[in-house]
Structures are given as C-alpha cells and as structure tokens.
C-alpha cells in the first residue's frame, strides 16, 4: 500500500493549489497544479508497469541492503603537455 500512500500524499499536497486556482483564479497555483498532475501521471505509469510486471512474473525477490561503496580517492588532474618548441 506504499504506492497508494505516494499518490494520496501527492494529491493532498496539491489540494490547496487546486482551491487557489479554481476558486481564486490564481495562475501561479495553476502552474503548480499542472506540475503535480504531471508528477501524478509519471507515478501512475510507474505503478502500472510495476503491477503488470508482478502480474506476469510474480513479486520481485527482496534483495538484502547493499553497503555504500567506499569513496575512491580523487585522481589529480592531468597536466597538459607543453607545446613543442619550433626549431
């Protein structure tokens, strides 16, 4: 139900902007509503693909948490070769 909670939170987060746009005709709120709807569209598509994948292949196995890789030492910047001297 975590995915449902994501959708619910997104919609509830946009509720105030919906009211501002439709009741007060606030154009900036309309932009925020459009952004929220675009995000909802992407989330809905992700969920659709996930459901289809689980339906066809069964649930994905839960992998153990991976440790974060150790940070490698930064390589020093390579020096540019000096231009060849003309003879």
- In tens, the pLDDT along 14-60 reads 999 999 999 999 999 999 999 999 999 999 999 999 999 999 998 76
- The more confident residue out of 85 and 7 is 7
- The more confident residue out of 48 and 75 is 48
pLDDT at 76: 57
Q: What angle do CA 58, 39, 18 make, to 5 degrees?
A: 130
Find the mean pLDDT for residues 66-70.
62
pLDDT at 58: 81
pTM score, whole prediction: 0.60
pLDDT at 43: 95
- Measure the CA–CA gap between 14 and 80, rounded to whole angstroms: 53
């Amino acid at each position: 139900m975590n995915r449902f909670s994501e959708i619910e939170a997104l919609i509830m987060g946009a509720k105030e902007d919906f009211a501002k746009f439709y009741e007060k005709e606030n154009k900036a709120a309309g932009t925020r509503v459009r952004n929220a709807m675009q995000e909802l569209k992407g989330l809905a598509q992700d969920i659709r693909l996930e459901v289809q994948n689980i339906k066809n292949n069964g649930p994905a196995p839960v992998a153990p948490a991976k440790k974060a890789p150790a940070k490698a030492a930064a390589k020093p910047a390579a020096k540019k070769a000096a231009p060849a001297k003309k003879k």
